[in-house]
Chain A
Amino acid sequence: MPNSDITGGTLGSGYASPRHAALKGLQHALGVPALVLGASYLGFGSLIHGAGLDVWHGLFSTFTGWALPGQIILVELYSLGASVLIVAAAVAMTNARLLPMTVALMPYLRAPGTPRWRYYLFAHYIAVTGWAAAMRHCPDLPEPQRLPYFAGFAVTLWSMTLVTTAVGFYLADLLPGYITLGLVFLNPIYFMLVFVADARHRARILALAFGAVCGPLLHLVSPDWGLPLTGLLAGSLAFFGDRLWSQRNA
């Protein structure tokens, strides 16, 4: 793991300064995370090409609407000639996870004296990979270093995906279809392993397990509401299951 020196080297006391924390975030992102997310966006770039769009569309999408599942849905619906309302609803539904993710992460990013606009600026970079890294490391850092660490990590990832969106677009003709498949598949597999590697708190492990089971099942029941329902049902079940467990063994 690229982040082992946090616990190994600094014993949870953080880095020399907020600046160093940001550089550490950058450094941690420039390993497996940038490689995998970069490769996933090669797949997105080639999807843009396949939809008959040009490279600026791809860059614009990654720049403004960064979060891969929503970006993929948008391009697909565009190809199908969907209306703007359908697109808005589908992207909003796909990205609804960003709400609980942001609420859960923010207490770990806040520090006294930080101007509020910074939270709103860096919220744009909340997406699964950076979120998971910040949820894991920021609680161990001194407060003034938390937002810099996350910003260093996530902005690095974002920059990388901008580059590979363009590269993927131009490689689209060279890449055979089965390679594109592999690139698109990197994303869910990577996220799966990140969460398996991360699983520590009992309530969150339960939430991951229940969510993995409920996600596909509820999607079959309702493609529109399956995901939000999964979060509410499986998340609540995990939360209360964990509390019950603690009470029984108290």
Chain B
Amino acid sequence: MLETGLAETAFWPYALMIVGALVTYFWRALGVALSGRIDAGSPLFEWVACVAYALLAGLIARMIVLPNGPLAETASADRIAAAVIALAIFFLARRNVGLGVAAGAGALVLMTLGRSWFF
């Protein structure tokens, strides 16, 4: 009993990752299968594209405003300020994505460090 328990522990993360990979690929494969029935110029296709863009914007906004993982330890005000800084630098630097991203992530790091020093 103890041995099978240990074996299970060693394999456990892989088992979870295989399950994760299967459910992830499932969506992609289903998408390929369903798309064969939709004409590129049809309104249904444009609706699906709108749903995809809305989902992605929702996910990104959630990752900034209500993140899970290590970001949850940072202050919401800092993350939102950093996102605004990223947008500002992006437009000021003539729509340079690289500079905007670097500025946003750098700003969050500095603000988080600042809080740990001063508070």
**Hey, which bits of chain A sit against chain B, CB under 8 A?**
1, 31-32, 35-36, 43, 47, 53, 57, 60-61, 64-67, 69-74, 76-78, 84, 87-88, 91-92, 95-108, 119-120, 123-124, 126, 128, 135, 177-197, 203-204, 206-216, 218-220, 226-228, 230-236, 238-239, 242-243
- A72–B20 alpha-carbon span in the complex (Å): 11
* Secondary structure class of chain B's binding surface, majority of residues: helix
Q: Which residue of B lies closest to A214 (CB)?
A: B58
Q: What are 10 A-B pairs at a CB distance below 8 A?
A: A71-B20, A98-B28, A126-B28, A178-B109, A184-B69, A191-B56, A195-B57, A196-B87, A234-B57, A239-B46
A192 touches B83 (CB 8 A): yes
A207 touches B64 (CB 8 A): no
A100 touches B29 (CB 8 A): no
CB distance from B46 to the nearest CB of A (A): 6
Specify which of A53, A194, A242 is in contact with B13 (CB 8 Å cutoff). A53
B35 touches A106 (CB 8 A): yes
CB distance from A166 to the nearest CB of B (A): 16
- A119–B34 alpha-carbon span in the complex (Å): 12
Q: Which residue of B lies closest to A71 (CB)?
A: B20
B54 touches A123 (CB 8 A): no
- A102: chain B residues within 8 A (beta carbon): 27-28, 30-32, 35
- B30: chain A residues within 8 A (beta carbon): 99, 102
- A195: chain B residues within 8 A (beta carbon): 53, 56-57, 60
- A98: chain B residues within 8 A (beta carbon): 24, 27-28, 31
Specify which of B19, B54, B71, B74 is in contact with A84 (CB 8 Å cutoff). B19
- B109: chain A residues within 8 A (beta carbon): 178-179, 181-182
- A69–B24 alpha-carbon span in the complex (Å): 11
A231 touches B52 (CB 8 A): yes
- A62–B64 alpha-carbon span in the complex (Å): 23
A230 touches B54 (CB 8 A): yes
A35-B98, A98-B28, A186-B105 are known contacts. Are A191 and B60 too (CB-CB below 8 A)? yes
- A34–B41 alpha-carbon span in the complex (Å): 32
Residues 40-73 of chain B: 1 if any A CB is under 8 Å from the residue's CB, otherwise 0?
A: 1001011111111111111111111111111101
- B67: chain A residues within 8 A (beta carbon): 188
Residues 74-112 of chain B: 1 if any A CB is under 8 Å from the residue's CB, otherwise 0?
A: 100001001100110010000101101100111011001
B50 touches A203 (CB 8 A): yes
Specify which of B12, B74, B95, B104 is in contact with A189 (CB 8 Å cutoff). B104
A235 touches B90 (CB 8 A): no
CB distance from B37 to the nearest CB of A (A): 10
Q: Which residue of B lies closest to A33 (CB)?
A: B97
A124-B25, A181-B70, A192-B86 are known contacts. Are A207 and B54 too (CB-CB below 8 A)? yes
Q: Most chain-A Cβ atoms within 10 A of its Cβ — which of B30, B39, B64, B73?
A: B64
